[in-house]
Structure 1
Amino acid sequence: MDQVVQEATRTALLELCRSGSPIVREENANEVIAVAARRWRSFERRSAKRSGDLDARTEDLAKGLREHFEGRTHLVGPLMEDYRFVAGVLATEFTQRI
């Protein structure tokens, strides 16, 4: 990921942090970006039979973030909506820049 994408994505995540996101903190923003970029780039390889539309990729990204940051994914509950929101912001950045 080039520096421009990294900085734009980090800026978007830090805004979420300032807005009270329970997912993104200033100290984990770079980790969120790294995990999300890897998941985003591997979607087509992992999901050959599924639709590659933006909604499917965003949901896959949200699930990937949840799997990485939560020890017990089945207990996430309503927090999954926050993962989906963060994934939507990341998807917007990635489709504009990657």
Structure 2
Amino acid sequence: MGQPVQNAARTALVELCESGSPVVRPETVDKILAVAVRRWQSFHRRNDRTPDINTRTNDLAKGLLNTFEPAPTLAGPLQSDYHHLATALANVFATE
């Protein structure tokens, strides 16, 4: 993944943080970006089917939730916040 895409993703994360996202904080932007890039790039290795953007977005949301929540099954309303985060990142990543 090229640096321009990663820069755009970082900008999207900062904007989410500034708009009040409960799952993105200034100190977690770089870690979220690293996890998201790794998850996005490994999708084909972990899945046999041809992906569409929705499948990849859901996979990204699941990976972020499992990485950053100590008890993912208890995250409740945060699941939609992670999906919103994944959607913002997927929209950037899909441009490459």
TM-score of the two chains, using structure 1 as the length reference:
0.92
How many percent identity over aligned positions?
53
Match of residue 66 from structure 1: 65
Give the match's secondary structure for 1:21: coil
- Which letter maps to 2:40? W
- Which letter maps to 1:61? L
Q: Deviations over 1:61-84 (max 9, x none)?
A: 000000100111110111100000
Match of residue 41 from structure 1: 41
Q: Distance in 1 between matches of 2:2 and 2:53?
A: 22
Match of residue 91 from structure 2: 92
Structure 1, unpaired ranges of 5+: none
Q: Distance in 2 between matches of 1:51 and 1:87?
A: 19
Structure 2, unpaired ranges of 5+: none
Q: Deviations over 1:35-66 (max 9, x none)?
A: 00000011111011x44111010000000000
Aligned-residue CA RMSD (Å):
1.1
Runs of 4+ in 1 over 3 A off after TM superposition: none
